[in-house]
Structure 1
Amino acid sequence: MSHLFVFHDVRTTDLDASRRFYSELLGWQITDSPAGPMFGAGDDLWGGFTPLAADDSRRAQWIPYVPVPDVDAAAQQAVALGARIVRPRIDLPPGSVVVIDEPGGATLALWQAASK
C-alpha cells in the first residue's frame, strides 16, 4: 500500500462559499467538470467538492484518498483493525472507493483505480 494521498475531497454544506474561500485564500484553480467542481485543471485534477445535503448529519471535512491494490480487501482489513465503514464501495468510471472512519475517528477514503 502507498503512503501518498492521491486525491482530496472537501465535504461542505455550502459549496459556493467553500469554492470562493479556497480560490480567494489560496489561489487554487477550480475547474467545472461533469462530476462537479474540481481542484486543479486538465490532467492535474487533485481534489473535488462533495456538497452535503441539509439533512446530512455528517460533518463538513476534508477526506484524503489513499490508493490500495484491492479496495475490498483493504476495507475488510480496516474493519478487522477497528475501522468503521462510513460509505460502502462505490464504483465510478476512474475507480472504486470505500470511505472509512479509522479507530481514532478520522475519515479516510480507500481508492482502487480502475484497470486500464
Structure 2
Amino acid sequence: MAENRASRVTEGIPCWVDAQLPDLEAGKRFYGELFGWSYEDWYRGSVRALKDGEPVAALAHKADGRMPTVWTVYFATPAAEVLARRVRETGGQVVAVPMPMGELGTAALAADPEGAVFGIWEPGTHTGFGLRHAPGSFVWAELYARDTAGANGFYGGLFHDALFGPDAEPDFGRAPVTDVFAAEMPPHFLVHFRVEDCERALAEVNRLGGRVQAGPFAASYGTVGVVADDQGASFAVLER
C-alpha cells in the first residue's frame, strides 16, 4: 500500500525530488508517457508532477546551460539554516544557501565530503511527496560513494534518527560507485522511481529517446535499471 501525505517531519527522510532540464516541455512529454504523470504550474515557471492527483516531483527549466541536467533528492529538515551549518561543520559544503520559496518552504543545496550533491527542504505549505512507493512515484535514493564507511559516518551524523532510529524508514542506501558505474564516475545520488515491470520500463525509456545505462540487475531493495532521459538526466527505475 502506498504511503500518503506525511504529517510529520523526520529530519533526513527523502521528501522531494526535482529535475533541472534544458527543455521543460520535452521533459513533461517524456515523464508523462513513462510514468503517467500530469502537471500543474508551480513555482517560478516550474511544474509540479502529479500521479493519481498527488504531487510526486517537480520539473524546472535549467536557465544556466553550465549547470548539470540532473535529478536532485531533497531531505526534510525542520530548520534548513541549522542543518546547513551542521553540513559545514561535518566536512560538507553548502552549494546554495537556504532560500525561501514563497510560502512553499525553504530550499538549499549541499554536498557531502566526496562532492555528492543533495537538497535540503524545510517545509512550509509544501510538505513534500503526496505519494511515494507506488508505481510512478519516488521509492528510493541510492548514494554511490567511493568511501561508503565515510558516507555512513557523515549521513549518520546528520540524519541519525532517520537512518538508524527505532522507527527508521530511510528510503536511502549507500553503495560503492564501482558496483554499477565506471571507477571515474564521481560520487552522486541516484533517484529511483517505482515501476511494475523493470524490463518493460527500460524498453519504454528507449522508445522515448532515453538511454539504458545499466541493468536490469538485482539489488537488496529490488530489481533496478539505471537510465537517462532524452536530455541526459540520470535516474533509476525499481521493481519491487
TM-score tier, shorter chain, comes to 0.7 to 0.9
Aligned-partner Cα distance in 1 for 2:159–2:184: 28
Give per-residue Cα distances to partners, 1:30-59, cap 9 Å, x unaligned: 45xxxxxxxx76772411111124x61222
Counting aligned pairs with the same residue, the percent is: 20
Q: Distance in 2 between matches of 1:74 and 1:41?
A: 35
User: Structure 1: any 5+ residue segments left out of the alignment?
Assistant: 32-39
Q: Which has the higher contact order (CA 8 A, sep 6+)?
A: 1
**Residue 62 (str. 1) matches residue 195 (str. 2):** no
Counterparts in 2 of 1:43 and 1:18: CA distance versus 1, 3 Å: closer
1-side partners of 2:233 and 2:152: how far apart? Answer: 23
Q: CA 1:77–1:94 in structure 2 vs 1: closer, same or farther (change >3 Å)? A: same
Q: How many residues align?
A: 104
Quickly say closer, same or farther: Cα 1:103–1:28, change in 2 above 3 A. farther
Question: Which residue is 1:35 aligned to?
Answer: none
Q: Is the 8 A contact 2:198 2:223 kept in 1?
A: yes
Alignment of 1:77-88 (within 5 A): 77-88=204-215
Say if 1:28 and 1:10 are closer, same or farther in 2 by CA, change over 3 A.
farther
CA distance in 2, matches of 1:27, 1:4: 25
After TM superposition, the score normalised by the length of structure 1 is 0.72
**Unaligned 5+ runs, structure 2:** 1-34, 36-134
Q: What is the correspondence of 1:16-31 to structure 2 with a 5 Å cutoff?
A: 16-30=149-163
TM-score by length of 2: 0.38
